[in-house]
Structure 1
Amino acid sequence: MMRKSYYQKLALMVIVLTILLAFQKYTSRNREPFPDVKFIASSASVNLSDFDPNILDRDQWQKLGFSEKQVSTILKYKDIVGGNFTSKEQLKKCYAISEEKFEELESFILLPKTSDKSKSKEFNTFAKKEINISGKFNPDRLSSGDWIKMGFSERQSEAILKYKNYLGGSFVSKEKFKECFIISPENYSKLEPYLILPAKTPENFRSFASNYPEKAKIQYHIFDPNILNVDGWKAFGFSDKQANIIVNYRDRNLRGSFKNLEDIQKCFVISAEKFQELKPYIKLNPITIKQEEIRQEKTDFSKTDLNTITFKQLIEFGLDERSASSIIGFRRKLGGFMNKEQILSTYNIDKELVQKLLSIAPLNNSNVPKYTLTDAPEEWLKDHPYFKYSADKIIFYRTTYPDDKKIWKFLKLKPEYEERMKLYLK
């Protein structure tokens, strides 16, 4: 009996142990890993030239390669900062503009690098200003001076009027008035009881913007875009800045003349809608095109240093604006090319044509600035494309270890990164 009891207990223990092992195996199974998600960014071909971001409309921002949502965010951000971007630094803070995209556009932006601190304070102190309201009023009838008297700054007042013009010359309703980003929720709650406007937006609101009266004032006529000056473009409804950009685009980027309608359409300050309005009146005179082409001086590219070659010379060789801009911009950031392979690795270029140029033109790198890791200026390290991602580490390590060999050991960079950085080191 005792032996029988012993074997029963032993069998029970084996069963329990088997169950425990099976449970452990089940709970410790490796789950199938979730696949990595990769986002593929598409890049549209953009013809770049100097531009003022304060005068671009939705269509023009999209021509620069931004999506509709990104454009909406940029324009909202512009309203929030007072209706105008004051510097490249301020524009860069807009989260809809990636660091890579900003670097692509930076050299073409017609804004100072940083803004005057006294101007930026104007917007920081806005929330503290008291709004003074004397009685009920129709905001459609207020001038910039009236908004200033109420407590808004001059630039904020201009932004409010621009928003009204964008709506078609009227705020339309309290709902639309509330959407003006310059007017904070706190200030709107103060203004709302005094507004002489309908509470709700009418169903036919979209017709307001299309009836904006400025268009009716433009008198179109037949014209040759190659002889039109700044005043001529302004007469067609362009602002002073837009007109200057068009003329510069024609004279500098296109070597003095529009060759076809497509050249005009590519100018990013001319929206698709505006181009369609102008198109019936455009008459390109072959004589003006031919004369401008004859005036071009021919460059001997076998004697033209790739570290001093100009934008116009690259265009003359046959490169498009995008390729030429990319090469000049990359060279400026590097401080000069050290070898021809760097030029060939530049983004957004016609590699086949550039390869042909490299086989003809010489490269002199004797004037390219070089430093050691210990004496390189901080600003240079932070701005240089090859050093900027390691700049803070280099600056930190060299305070304790003023020796290039030790700094390299601490950086622990990939060999290819270290190799290209050493091109600019003594």
Structure 2
Amino acid sequence: MMRKNYYRKLAFMGMLLIVLFAFQKYTSREKEDFPKLKFITASTVPLNLDDFNPNDLDAKQWRNLGFSEKQVSTILNYKKIVGGQFSSKEQLKKCYAISAEKFNELESFILLPENGKSKRFEKFGNTEKKEINVSKKFNPDGLSASEWIAMGFSEKQAEAILKYRNYLGGSFVSKEKFRECFIISSENYSKLEPYLLLPAKTPDNFRNSGGQYAIKSSIQYHPFDPNTLDLNGWKALGFSEKQASTIVNYRDRNLRGSFKSLEDIKKCFVISQEKFQELSPYIKLSAIANTVQKQETDFSKMDLNTITFKQLLEFGLDEKSAGSIIGFRRKLGGFVNKQQIMDTYNIDKEMVQKLISTCQLDTSNVAKYTLTDAPEEWLKNHPYFKYSADKIVFYRTSNFTDAKIWKMLKLKPEYEARMKLYIK
């Protein structure tokens, strides 16, 4: 009888433990069942975007890049959290308010190192162990890429130095500004500094204007119509050649030939708030009707790999859709099938479906390679290959075949399938 009671108690304890375990499992699962997070995505970047340093942008300039008020607030707060300065593209990419798609659109224009600590950046940047030789005084404003290379910098470093100089408006201005070029190490700057034909200090009247630097001059403002102003006209108002070109392109391409209001001018990201306030009393907008004659295009004979931005507008697409299609096509090197066009971000799918049903698609000029012979630059810039590019380059150094490399990449089937669209 005692043995029977003992087994009953044991069975009861076992059942109790099972019930407790099941209850714990159920409640913990409920706690972990969070609603799906929806990340904020940004709108399309203007087609004529210029190089910029994200550390120089204020709230308005971030909004002009296509971000909402909430996204801009998040980005600026994130900047404070990381110490008040973005140190690399990789760090900026981690800001959750900037979607992967938006970052990819901006990346080539961002004047920051890829990753200050990565081996890849060491090759590109200022830790490359190469002797810098200089024997006479020189003005860095006049040096070409080949002259920087002859001095001891790598080809990529020379390109970055020129890009930084262009960002400053075509001149380093002072030794202080030259020293800020992230591609030149402190050690190399110490070697170069005695030979630099530049003022030691940056002039007091040197200011930042919309991501491009300019020196204030005594500009004589007069009433002007921004819809009739050419490149030289904008330069006469104090803009650099690059800024003037951006304004003209923004007006002619994005706004279809004319500013309709002062707000349109204000939205151009190379025109700072300060500069706009200086100009606004002199702006005389004319009521120019849109008299651009429409082209008569036979879209049934049009190739989707050569169709232009204007022709897409003529077909009936809005600027956002047309810009997205042209931008994505350029990154891919050409479309291989029509579904890729439908998968493009920020498009009017109904109009695009009508477009691809009407137009032809010629893929004969789309570049295709094998994994073993694809150029490294092509792999790293192509949207489908860029995240696997380093692995591919590494694996093929061991003379692996394409089949072996595919096996070692261990990609999801859908990723492998879209990559193979561009493989011979």
Q: TM-score, normalised by structure 1?
A: 0.61
Number of the residue aligned with 2:49: 50
Task: Provide the rounded CA distance (Å) in 2 between the counterparts of 1:159 and 1:343.
Answer: 50
Aligned partner of 1:120 among 182, 186, 192: 182
Matches within 5 A, 1:193-272: 223-229=224-230, 233=234, 241-259=242-260, 263-270=264-271
Number of the residue aligned with 2:379: 381
Task: Provide the rounded CA distance (Å) in 2 between the counterparts of 1:386 and 1:421.
Answer: 6
Task: Provide the rounded CA distance (Å) in 2 between the counterparts of 1:40 and 1:229.
Answer: 44
SS at match of 2:303: coil
Equivalent AA in structure 1 for residue 257 of structure 2:
G
Equivalent AA in structure 2 for residue 379 of structure 1:
E
Question: Deviation of residue 425 (structure 1)?
Answer: 1.8
Number of the residue aligned with 1:365: 363
Question: Deviation of residue 409 (structure 1)?
Answer: 4.4
Contact 1:62/1:68 (<8 A) preserved: no
Matches within 5 A, 1:402-417: 402-417=400-415
Is 1:68 aligned to 2:82, yes or no? no
Task: Provide the rounded CA distance (Å) in 1 between the counterparts of 2:11 and 2:78.
Answer: 62
Distance 1:14 1:225, change over 3 A: same
Question: Deviation of residue 274 (structure 1)?
Answer: 7.3
Aligned partner of 1:10 among 3, 17, 22: 3
Task: Provide the rounded CA distance (Å) in 2 between the counterparts of 1:395 and 1:424.
Answer: 16
Contact 2:295/2:314 (<8 A) preserved: no
Task: Provide the rounded CA distance (Å) in 1 between the counterparts of 2:111 and 2:391.
Answer: 33
Equivalent AA in structure 2 for residue 423 of structure 1:
L
Is 1:345 aligned to 2:343, yes or no? yes
SS at match of 1:338: coil
- The alignment of Structure 1 onto Structure 2 pairs a total of residues equal to 337
Number of the residue aligned with 2:106: 105
Equivalent AA in structure 2 for residue 71 of structure 1:
L
Number of the residue aligned with 1:311: 309
SS at match of 1:120: coil
Which stretch shows the higher mean deviation, 226-235 or 355-364? Answer: 226-235
Distance 1:71 1:246, change over 3 A: farther
Cα displacement string for residues 8-52 of structure 1 (whole angstroms, at most 9, x for unaligned residues): x42563365246424532553324311145321233434513234
Contact 2:370/2:402 (<8 A) preserved: yes
Number of the residue aligned with 1:322: 320
Task: Provide the rounded CA distance (Å) in 2 between the counterparts of 1:355 and 1:233.
Answer: 40
Task: Provide the rounded CA distance (Å) in 1 between the counterparts of 2:81 and 2:7.
Answer: 71
Question: Deviation of residue 92 (structure 1)?
Answer: 5.4
Aligned partner of 1:39 among 27, 33, 37: 37
Question: Deviation of residue 226 (structure 1)?
Answer: 0.4
Question: Deviation of residue 336 (structure 1)?
Answer: 1.0
CA-atom RMSD in angstroms: 4.7
Contact 2:79/2:85 (<8 A) preserved: no
Distance 1:46 1:15, change over 3 A: same
Contact 1:307/1:364 (<8 A) preserved: yes
Task: Provide the rounded CA distance (Å) in 2 between the counterparts of 1:319 and 1:311.
Answer: 9
Question: Deviation of residue 346 (structure 1)?
Answer: 0.8
Which stretch shows the higher mean deviation, 92-101 or 114-123? Answer: 114-123
Number of the residue aligned with 2:170: none
Distance 1:362 1:14, change over 3 A: closer
Unaligned runs of 5+ in 2: 115-155, 162-180, 191-197, 210-215
Unaligned runs of 5+ in 1: 1-6, 129-143, 149-153, 166-213
Matches within 5 A, 1:270-281: 270=271
Cα displacement string for residues 227-250 of structure 1 (whole angstroms, at most 9, x for unaligned residues): 234565577786765444222211
Task: Provide the rounded CA distance (Å) in 2 between the counterparts of 1:18 and 1:402.
Answer: 61
Contact 2:49/2:109 (<8 A) preserved: yes
Number of the residue aligned with 2:18: 25
SS at match of 1:371: coil
Task: Provide the rounded CA distance (Å) in 1 between the counterparts of 2:104 and 2:8.
Answer: 69
Task: Provide the rounded CA distance (Å) in 1 between the counterparts of 2:186 and 2:235.
Answer: 35
Equivalent AA in structure 1 for residue 14 of structure 2:
L
Cα displacement string for residues 252-279 of structure 1 (whole angstroms, at most 9, x for unaligned residues): 4334333455643543345689778867
Structure with more of its chain in helix, by fraction: 1
Contact 1:50/1:110 (<8 A) preserved: no
Task: Provide the rounded CA distance (Å) in 2 between the counterparts of 1:248 and 1:75.
Answer: 34
Contact 1:336/1:365 (<8 A) preserved: yes
Question: Deviation of residue 343 (structure 1)?
Answer: 1.3
Number of the residue aligned with 1:207: none
Is 1:420 aligned to 2:421, yes or no? no
Question: Deviation of residue 72 (structure 1)?
Answer: 5.2
Which stretch shows the higher mean deviation, 273-282 or 99-108? Answer: 273-282
Contact 1:386/1:420 (<8 A) preserved: yes
Percent of aligned pairs with the same amino acid: 55
Equivalent AA in structure 2 for residue 349 of structure 1:
I
Task: Provide the rounded CA distance (Å) in 2 between the counterparts of 1:314 and 1:107.
Answer: 25
Q: TM-score, normalised by structure 2?
A: 0.61
Contact 2:331/2:383 (<8 A) preserved: yes
Task: Provide the rounded CA distance (Å) in 2 between the counterparts of 1:238 and 1:77.
Answer: 33
Distance 1:162 1:258, change over 3 A: closer
Contact 1:92/1:102 (<8 A) preserved: no
Number of the residue aligned with 2:331: 333
Task: Provide the rounded CA distance (Å) in 1 between the counterparts of 2:409 and 2:265.
Answer: 50
Task: Provide the rounded CA distance (Å) in 2 between the counterparts of 1:78 and 1:160.
Answer: 28
SS at match of 1:53: coil
SS at match of 1:14: helix
Cα displacement string for residues 334-387 of structure 1 (whole angstroms, at most 9, x for unaligned residues): 111112221121111222232333233322111111122333333333332223
